[in-house]
Amino acid sequence: MTSRRILLLTGNYVNVVDGVALTLNRLVRFLVDRGDEVLVLAPGAKQFALEPAGRFVAVPSAPFALQPEYRVALGLYGRARRRVDAFSPDLVHVATPDILGWAGVRYARRHGLPVVGSFHSNLASYMRFAWFTRLLERPVWGQLRRFYDDCDRVYVPTASMEQELREHGFRVETQLWSRGVDLRRFTPDRRSEAWRRAHGIAPDEFAVLFVARLRWEKGLNLLARIFRRLDESHVRYRPVIVGDGVGRDWLRREVPRAVMPGYLDGEELATAYASSDAFLYPSETDTFGNVTLEAMASGLPAICADAPGARSLVRDGKTGWLVSPGDEPGFAARVAELAAKRERQRELGRAALEHAQTFSWSACLTALSDSYDELLRRSPRSVTSRPRTA
């Protein structure tokens, strides 16, 4: 097996625990275990939220104004550029369409290297969630198209997201790169009546779980309206909101009955999933939906927006339901139906678990690694023949 040198550039690797950072760290660990060398460039942090896999180099960055926990990379120069030159990569992988990502594409082109992109966040759709950014949605799609069309191949998490890129005029070659789920961690076996009691959930209450970083693009306004509608309908349920972020205090006021344990990880998160009864996720901006898959692996039926992320995970009427984006009455009706029909809830939960068990991290990471090899074989500068400078 030939060792490869992979350069990965991303906007978040150690700053914030989100789906992108977790996925990329998992990818790098997989590649390193395979015998590859991986150099990761991303904004740094005074205190890492994640222990970085691979060789990590912090690039110059500044706080993102709207969400200062994230940082914006300012480019590839100085010490970071010297580290890249000394590393002498075989392939460049850009994960964020920012200044650093553009610099990575240019570096690959100048040095005759294959360059791949991965589509993690539907940034254009985020523009819908504030009045002063709505007019930017179309220009942002244009910028995304120009960035990714300059790559040799782009990895997308779902077929529905791939279709959306085509509808917006993307011409680049695409390949599905799905995600997996840790079935040893996320399992119905972690259900805990003690956890429910500790959080004030009565035995006959139907626990409706939402897990996300609490940001507006996750559909927080709609989530609160759904819960208010359920309250008005006198459904015997309890909202459970796991996560932290700028919307947390607002949600506390708007959904006063909610159990809000904050950010959870590891076994605590797995217990929260398994101890709930259904998963509610009205967000329409996700490109995959790691939390939806974790909920399904925990035996929960998923009630999600009919959007690119969930559409490739949830089998409507079989493992949960897909509801038209923004359809507040539709979401509330599905929750109320499951709260009233517990056998139906258990039936959908069993089917959700069975479907989640088909998502393997090993398989999807191996497929990505094989794709790297294919592109390297096409490259005029092969892994075995290129001279090393370090």
User: Measuring CA to CA, how many Å separate 282 from each of 171, 207, 222, 270, 331?
Assistant: 30, 16, 7, 21, 8
314's tokens: 């949830």
Residue 369, pLDDT score: 97
Is residue 152 within 8 Å of residue 372, measured between CB atoms? Answer: no
358's tokens: 């088909």
Is residue 121 within 8 Å of residue 142, measured between CB atoms? Answer: no
Q: Which residue has the tokens 């398994």?
A: 274
Q: How many other CB atoms sit within 10 Å of the CB of residue 292? A: 28
User: How far is residue 249's CA from residue 259's CA, in Å, rounded to a whole number?
Assistant: 13
Q: Which residues pair with 154 in a beta bridge?
A: 117, 174
Where are the strands (E) in the chain, listed by range?
Answer: 5-9, 37-43, 55-59, 61-63, 71-73, 91-94, 115-118, 153-156, 174-176, 206-211, 237-242, 259-262, 278-281, 302-305, 320-323
Domain 5-180+360-378: homologous superfamily in CATH: Glycogen Phosphorylase B; (3.40.50.2000)
313's tokens: 């995970």
- Amino acid present at 318: K
Report the DSSP pairing between strands 5-9 and 91-94. Answer: parallel
Where are the strands (E) in 157-298, listed by range?
Answer: 174-176, 206-211, 237-242, 259-262, 278-281
User: Measuring CA to CA, how many Å separate 380 from each of 30, 62, 90, 217, 383?
Assistant: 26, 37, 11, 43, 10
Instruction: Classify residue 234 as left (phi > 0), alpha (psi -120 to 50) or beta.
Output: left
User: How far is residue 229's CA from residue 339's CA, in Å, rounded to a whole number?
Assistant: 14
User: Measuring CA to CA, how many Å separate 299 from each of 166, 273, 275, 346?
Assistant: 34, 8, 10, 8
User: CATH 3.40.50.2000 occupies which residues in the chain?
Assistant: 5-180+360-378, 188-356
pLDDT in tens, the chain (390 residues): 679 999 999 999 999 988 899 999 999 999 999 999 999 999 998 899 999 999 999 999 998 876 778 898 999 999 999 999 999 999 999 999 999 999 999 999 999 999 999 998 766 555 565 555 666 777 888 899 999 999 999 999 988 889 989 999 999 999 999 999 999 999 999 999 999 999 999 999 999 999 999 999 899 999 999 999 999 999 999 999 999 999 999 999 999 999 999 999 999 999 999 999 999 999 988 878 899 999 999 999 999 999 888 998 999 999 999 999 999 999 999 999 999 999 999 999 999 999 999 999 999 999 999 999 999 998 866 554 444 444
Contacts of 156 (CB under 8 A, 6+ apart): 118, 119, 162, 165, 174, 175, 176, 177, 287
User: How far is residue 42's CA from residue 278's CA, in Å, rounded to a whole number?
Assistant: 36
Please state which CATH number belongs to domain 188-356: 3.40.50.2000
Coil, strand, or helix at residue 57?
Answer: strand
User: Measuring CA to CA, how many Å separate 4 from each of 31, 89, 116, 173, 367?
Assistant: 9, 8, 15, 22, 16
What pTM was computed for the model? 0.85
